[in-house]
Amino acid sequence: MTESNQPQYNADGLATFHNCEFLSDPRFQNAYRFGMQVGTLRRLDLHIEWRAWIALWAAEQALLVPGDFVECGVHTGILSGTIAHWTGFAKRADRTMWLLDTFDGLPEEQLNDGERAIGLQAYNNDYRNQDTLAQVTAKFRDYPNIRIVPGAVPGTLAQVTAERVAYLSIDMNMALPEIAAATHFWPKLSPGGVVLLDDYNWMPHIHQKRAFDAFAAERGLRVLGLPTGQGILIKPP
Q: How do residues 91-124 score in pLDDT, each as one tens digit?
A: 999 999 999 999 999 999 999 999 999 999 988 8
> Which amino acid would we find at residue 236?
P
Instruction: Answer whether residue 6 shows pLDDT above 60.
Output: yes
pLDDT of residue 40: 46
Q: Where are the alpha helices (DSSP H) in the chain?
A: 26-36, 49-62, 78-87, 113-118, 124-127, 132-139, 175-185, 206-218
Whole-angstrom distance, CA of residue 75 vs CA of residue 102: 8
Domain spanning 9-234 has what CATH number? 3.40.50.150
Mark 53-66 as b/e (b = at least 16 C-beta within 10 Å). Answer: bbbbebbebbbebb
Instruction: Answer whether residue 43 shows pLDDT above 70.
Output: no
Q: How do residues 136-194 score in pLDDT, each as one tens digit?
A: 999 999 999 999 999 999 999 999 999 999 999 999 999 999 999 999 999 999 999 99
* Structure-model confidence comparison of residues 201 and 3, the more confident one: 201
Asked whether the beta carbons of 55 and 97 are under 8 A apart, the reply is: no
Asked if residue 154 has a cis previous peptide bond (ω within 30° of 0), the answer is: yes
Q: Which residues pair with 69 in a beta bridge?
A: 97, 167
Mean pLDDT (the chain, rounded): 94
Whole-angstrom distance, CA of residue 15 vs CA of residue 39: 30
Q: Is the pTM of this model over 0.85?
A: yes
Where residue 100 falls (left for φ over 0; alpha for ψ -120 to 50; beta otherwise) is: beta
Question: Percent of the chain, pLDDT > 70?
Answer: 95
> Which amino acid would we find at residue 213?
D
pLDDT band at 128, cuts 50/70/90? confident
Instruction: Answer whether residue 16 shows pLDDT above 90.
Output: yes
Asked whether the beta carbons of 80 and 73 are under 8 A apart, the reply is: no
